[in-house]
Chain A
Amino acid sequence: QKEVEQDPGPLSVPEGAIVSLNCTYSNSAFQYFMWYRQYSRKGPELLMYTYSSGNKEDGRFTAQVDKSSKYISLFIRDSQPSDSATYLCAMNTNAGKSTFGDGTTLTVKP
C-alpha cells in the first residue's frame, strides 16, 4: 500500500467550476502538507503549504487538512483554462523526506 494515495483523475471541468482534489495518507510521521502544480515540461510549482489541521486560503485556492482522518484537499474556485495542469500533493516528515501523490491531471474547458 502506498503511503500517499491521490485521486487519479483525469478530471475535466468547464470553466468557472469548483474543483476538488484529494489525497489520503497512512504515515503519521507526515507533518507538513503541500500542493504543487506542474505544467508539461516544467518543474512543480508550489501552490499551498500548511502544517495544521484546518483550512488555508490563498486567492482562488483553499487547502484543507484533516490530520485525524489523514486526508487533505485542494479546492480551486472559478477554475480557468490556465489551471489545466497536473496537481501533486506532497507530504514531509520532520527529517525533510517528501513523498508525493501520483498526481491528478486537470483540464478546464473554455
Chain B
Amino acid sequence: DTEVTQTPKHLVMGMTNKKSLKCEQHMGHRAMYWYKQKAKKPPELMFVYSYEKLSINESVPSRFSPECPNSSLLNLHLHALQPEDSALYLCASSRGGLLLGNQPQHFGDGTRLSIL
C-alpha cells in the first residue's frame, strides 16, 4: 500500500458527465501533482501545486480542473471529457520547498478512467 491514496480506483463516465478524482496524503508533504499515463507510456505531468497554490499547468485543456483545498488533499474535477482522455490518472506528492525538484515524488496507485 502506498502513502498516497487515490479514489476511486476505477471510474467510467460519459462525455457529458461531471466527476471528481480525489487524492490524499498524510506525509506532511507540501507539493502535490497530477499526472496522466496512457498504456505502455510514461506518466505525463499535468499540474503541480506548491503550498496549495497552482505552480505549474502543462497547458492542460480546461475540461480538467484541479483544486487543492488543503495541504493533504488534491482534487481533479472532470467535465465534458473525450474518449482520448481515457487513461490512468496518477497523483504524487513531495516534501516541497523553494526548490520543488530536489525532493523525489511519491505516487499513488492511480484512478483508471474510461470515457464512453
Contacts and interface: CB of A to CB of B under 8 A. Distances in A.
B10 to A, nearest CB: 10
A44 B101 contact: no
Contacts of B48: 96-97
A: interface residue count bin: 20 to 34
Given A43-B107, A43-B108, A100 B102 contact: no
Interface stretch (A13-21, A53-61, A74-82, A86-94): A86-94
25 contacts: A31-B101, A31-B102, A41-B109, A42-B109, A43-B108, A44-B107, A46-B104, A46-B105, A46-B106, A88-B42, A94-B99, A94-B100, A94-B102, A95-B56, A95-B100, A95-B101, A96-B48, A96-B56, A97-B45, A97-B56, A98-B45, A99-B45, A101-B42, A102-B42, A103-B41
B31 A96 contact: yes
Contact of A102 (B41, B100, B107): B41
Interface string B76-116: 00000000000000101010000111101111111010000
Interface residues of B, number: 28
B55 interface: yes
A45 interface: yes
Contacts of B101: 31-32, 92-98
By DSSP majority rule, is chain A's interface helix, strand, loop, or mixed? loop
Interface of A: 31-32, 34, 36, 41-46, 49, 51, 88, 92-103
